[in-house]
Structure 1
Amino acid sequence: MRTTEDWSRLGGVLIAALAVATALAVLGPRLLGRAAGPEVEIISALKATEREGLSLSLPGIPTPLTAREHRFARITVRVEPGGERAEALATLDFTGTLGAIEVSSLGVERVPFVLKDGDWVPEGLEAPRLAAAVLALERRRRALEAGDREALALLAAPAREDGGGAVEVGGPELEQLLALKERRYGVSGWRLRLERDEAVVTELWRLEGTLPSRPVDQRGERRLILIRSGEEFLFSPALM
């Protein structure tokens, strides 16, 4: 028959075992990742966002780009000489929202990582290319609604060295939009295909406003192409 002291000792052993199990559950993946090298730790960090959620802050935009569902796949890791920096190459299947705008994207992603306090962490956002493309799209939408030609010009790709490729900030469709009073350029959805150096986008838009002769309420779907310029995306061959 067990005494009170025996039961107390057994209870202490059970508590200690539970503490060890909890520690392993929390620290185990990290310890395994470190033992296997940076590749496993970086892949684990990206896959963890699928459980924890993904919210991307865009400069100058108060509402984050928030995932409803996303999946990283085909992840490969390149560690730079010195072992302090690395880059993860992956495909990303994303569905989510930017405010009221539905955003879906499929394509390649390139995520820089740095070693910080013994852990591999993203240097910036977990999906920098998607964030950069959506930021360009939202800046364009706001510039169209505001009728801001200067802001639109900053989003246009420059001419190539051979003299081609320049985007004209004008044209009949843009001039008609700028002529509207009480203008509102709304977007209900962006569907993106992210390639290595460009993004192909289908935009679902609605333009509202008034002309001297009549009110305007138009809806449509248009195809846009963005090309990568450094860490940002610019529009080519047209803004509309």
Structure 2
Amino acid sequence: MNKILTLLWCCAALLLASCDSGNIHEEMATTTREGLTVRMTGRLRGAESWSDRYQVVLAAFADGSDYTLVQKEIPSQLIDGDSVNLVLSGVPSEANRVQLCVVDRVRERVATFSDLKLTPKMFERTRDTLRFDVGRSNVGMYAVVEDHLFDNLCSKCHGTNGHAAAGMDLRKGHAYAATVGVASRLNPEAQRIVPGQADNSWLVRVLTEGNEGLTHYKDHTLILNNERDSKYFTLLKDWINAGAKP
């Protein structure tokens, strides 16, 4: 009789175990992340230069939006010129591009380093991993300041066609030497950029609303104080306060 009871108890235990196993597999299946998977490779440098207000990420965006749908941070300690192999999964169907970019604390895109355009056909084969090779990229903080602010917005008057207003050449490759630790021509007692001190930097003062009378051109305060470019003014000040490193 004892043998029969023991046998019945073992059978019941096996049935319970198989039921538990079924529930676990079902839960695992429902938590599997859907969407595209993108594998980015490349050699990056400069990510360690960003302050904690920003992140260098691999991220997906919907058309017309500057805010990430999904993102994955690129660890700065792993990419100091070394090769990077990073996977972003769960890219939703509303995304139309994946980018290597920098975002701020609210996940708004500040600048893009490399771009991969997505097509509807790519979402028909979500089991495949898309390859995204970004090559060699400088993702440093100053690289964005130089490209998007100095060269793109300022060099038209400061350096292009051989003319540098106030003797300040803000073209790419020249801007750093013309600003950091350099005295202003209009106010020799002030430096154009004082590392670590944005509020004491002459360039920041000239670009700040309410200071229209500091230079001969009163429109300087309009350059960055608008919805499209205000993030670059914030970036400039953050870069200076972080030490204004090249």
TM-score grouping bracket, smaller chain normalisation: 0.3 to 0.5
Q: Greater strand share, 1 or 2? A: 1
Q: Which has the larger radius of gyration?
A: 2
Q: Greater helix share, 1 or 2? A: 2
Q: Which has the higher contact order (CA 8 A, sep 6+)?
A: 2
Q: TM-score, normalised by structure 2?
A: 0.33
Q: TM-score, normalised by structure 1?
A: 0.34
